[in-house]
Amino acid sequence: MKMQLKKQLFGLSLIISLLISNCRCNDIINVGEKTEIVPTTLLLPTIATTATTLSTQMVLEKDSTEQMNYKNIVMSLYVPVTKLGPCRYIDGTRKQNHQCRRDPGLADALRDAKKIAMSHCEEQFKFDRWNCSIETKGKRNIFKKVYKETAFVHALTAAALTYQISRACAEGKMSRCQCATERRPAITDATGAKKFQWGGCSDNVKHGKRVARNFLELQPIDTDGDEIFEILRHDGEVGIATLTGDMENKCKCHGVSGSCSMKTCWRKLSDFNATAAALRVKYHQALRKISYAKASRRAAKREQRERVVTIGTGFNGRKNFGILESTDPDYETLFYLEQSPTFCALTKGRQCSSPENCATLCCGRGYTTRVIKQVEKCKCRFSNGRCCTIICDYCERYEDRYYCK
């Protein structure tokens, strides 16, 4: 879109230049009660300048809008919906609404993706300062800048959406896809006998990745060195690669009297908790990316010692963002730009797992200990020693729980 507007702007300037060189007529301008004749050659440069300014503003506004829309795509999944559209659970862009109209099952996949992403994120970080809250302090949120937490949420969201769409295809919940078919030869043993053959209903990961990338706009495009776009796109791909790299075989036996003389197998995605746990490890191993042009040489060296990736400039004077491809071609590492906030303002009243955990979680404010009485069933047995009525006693158990001040 940007290139088209630039071409139109160049064409407009060329036409105006031709008019200036060829036109020799005059224009009449009324000034109050006086009438003045002004040569057109004096007016045309002003028109050309105005047209150029307006066209440039259109290009900048268009780029700013597209960039803003991209940055808000993932955020829109986690904020309240303000208008009811085809996607139902998200204030979608025009492109996203078109996708939801084409396949009504996509809206439910979005809802389920958001649900599993938030539940697994909260489970992974329930005893950390950041417990997957969108807010950082006051009206600020993690999507205003590219923190380590922003990178994790983008990766987890891309993985969750791919997961739900792939599963929905296999379960018949999407109208534009179905089960994936494994076009592979049957697996045989040393004697040449078949161990199992491919069949069944595999998760359609190929379709899930394609739809998720289109919906989240993860396709590589010419961004004129937009660092934020490249980082968030990369982090999304890390989430998808983590998900799809952990598929497993599910098999069903065939044969007389359960002899399992032949097995039919298909490919299924592993439980999403495994993906969330793997991404949590990548979160702690994430690398901060800092622009060489924005940091002093001393700061860059210090950040390098702290596992920071520094970006230089190429021979053409533009920032070299290809470092993501050259250093991480398999999408194994999360990248971020800004140092994370402390999140201390959000830990008041949070439960700790232990006093040692409180020392970190409570940011030095201390903690309180509460003794909680638990009543549980115990000593369960058969009534009168015979089947099949079970009776149980109730036992009391006291447990210490720790909460931040």
pLDDT tens for residues 172-225? 898 888 888 766 666 665 565 566 677 778 889 999 999 999 999 887 766 566
| Range with top average pLDDT, 58-67, 82-91, 362-371 | 362-371
SS3 assignment, position 267: strand
Residue 83 — pLDDT band, cuts 50, 70, 90? confident
pLDDT (0 to 100) of residue 176: 86
On the CB side of 276, CA atoms within 13 Å amount to 20
Q: Which CATH architecture has domain 351-404?
A: 2-Layer Sandwich (3.30)
| Range with top average pLDDT, 37-41, 107-111, 329-333 | 107-111
- Mean per-residue pLDDT over the chain, rounded: 76
What count of other Cβ atoms lies within 10 Å of the Cβ of residue 334?
25
Q: Which two tokens stand for residue 358?
A: 């409180």
Higher-confidence residue: 104 or 320? 104
Residue 47 pLDDT exceeds 60 = no
Q: What is the pLDDT of residues 268-317, one digit of tens each?
A: 999 999 999 999 999 999 999 875 445 544 555 565 555 445 444 333 33
Share of the chain above pLDDT 90, in %: 38
pLDDT (0 to 100) of residue 305: 53
Q: What is the pLDDT of residues 128-141, one digit of tens each?
A: 999 998 887 766 78
The identity of residue 228, as a single letter, is: I
Q: Which two tokens stand for residue 262?
A: 């032949």
Minimal CA–CA distance to 227: which of 149, 290, 282, 287?
Answer: 290
Residue 328 — pLDDT band, cuts 50, 70, 90? low
Rounded to whole angstroms, how far apart are CA atoms 167 and 116? 13
